[in-house]
A = this chain, B = another copy of it.
């Protein structure tokens, strides 16, 4: 898909004033030092001003207040704040790109009594089971699997090869990246007298609230008991290859980096920042706004909001760094 606008049209979108030929067509956003003809760049940081006079971009967005020191080949779009105008264009471009696919590619599969809203995309080889409810403007990419009885809110993007087990709930404006699995069985087995293990039926579900982003190849297990949910609250951002075990609750606007694992029945508060490769043990409560350094192991509940911890059996980060300095010097 190519999106093509005249410079005049772009200026209109961001409330800018055109200096130069506004009828030229531009198709893509680029950095001022790399831009080519047909592209549009911006200048916000004065230390890049030199590139304004040499750029190959067809158009450059600049601040209204900037005084030119040399002639400029590119058409200029003057705005109050070049940086925020440019990021606004980026976001608009990203949104258009993300939601550009519509219609149904064949072969695809949809079971009986399933309903989809307007503006939907169902890629080839996507699978939607029975009794599924899918909102407006949802994008189901190729090889995605949406099990029987799932519900998906409006404007949600399900990338290629995502697997959502039956009966799970996904909110609106979510984005789930390729290969992620939602609703697989919790890891629950009862030891038997003969040394073997018997499966504890995992009959609960997963609920992903609105505005959640989940990276690629992450796994979120279902809750154990029927009627219970593993819950990812509003606005949570999960990176790639994360493990969220059964009955976990992740509080709203918490951010978790790649390869971290949260064990069963642990509750993470709101607005926490959890680094990559962290392990958090089961049945804990982690207070709001907790920070956990990468690779740490959290083995007990954290009660004080805003605590920052680090280490294999994590404790307060400043204390850990002091202890590690002593360790490194072999106690000297």
Contacts and interface: CB of A to CB of B under 8 A. Distances in A.
Interface of A: 1, 28-31, 34, 87, 90-91, 93-94, 97, 105, 107, 109, 123-125, 127, 141-143, 145, 147-148, 159-161, 163, 165, 175, 177-179, 181, 184-185, 187, 189, 195-203, 211, 213, 215-219, 221, 225-227, 235, 237, 239-241, 243, 245, 253, 255, 257-259, 261, 263, 270-271, 276-277, 279, 281, 294-295, 297, 311-313, 315, 319, 322-324, 326-331
Given A143-B161, A160-B145, A277 B276 contact: no
Given A124-B127, A226-B30, A277-B279, A181 B177 contact: yes
Given A29-B226, A94-B199, 15 more contacts: A30-B226, A87-B200, A94-B201, A125-B127, A160-B163, A187-B257, A189-B237, A217-B241, A240-B243, A277-B277, A281-B294, A295-B297, A312-B312, A313-B324, A326-B330
Contact of A34 (B221, B227, B279): B227
Contacts of A315: 328
A113 to B, nearest CB: 12
A295 B238 CA distance: 21
A259 B257 contact: no
Contacts of A323: 327-330
B324 A227 contact: no
A90 B203 contact: yes
Given A160-B163, A294-B281, A312-B311, A219 B197 contact: no
A294 B322 CA distance: 24
Contacts of A226: 28-30
A200 B258 CA distance: 17
Q: How many copies does the complex hold?
A: 3
Contacts of A281: 294
Contacts of A90: 201, 203
A272 to B, nearest CB: 11
16 contacts: A1-B148, A91-B201, A94-B201, A94-B202, A125-B143, A127-B160, A145-B160, A163-B216, A184-B216, A187-B237, A257-B263, A263-B276, A281-B294, A294-B297, A322-B330, A326-B327
A286 to B, nearest CB: 16
Contacts of A297: 277, 294-295
A167 B185 CA distance: 27
A187 B175 CA distance: 12
Closest 7 CB pairs of A and B: A94-B201, A163-B178, A184-B216, A181-B216, A109-B124, A145-B160, A243-B258
Contacts of A311: 312
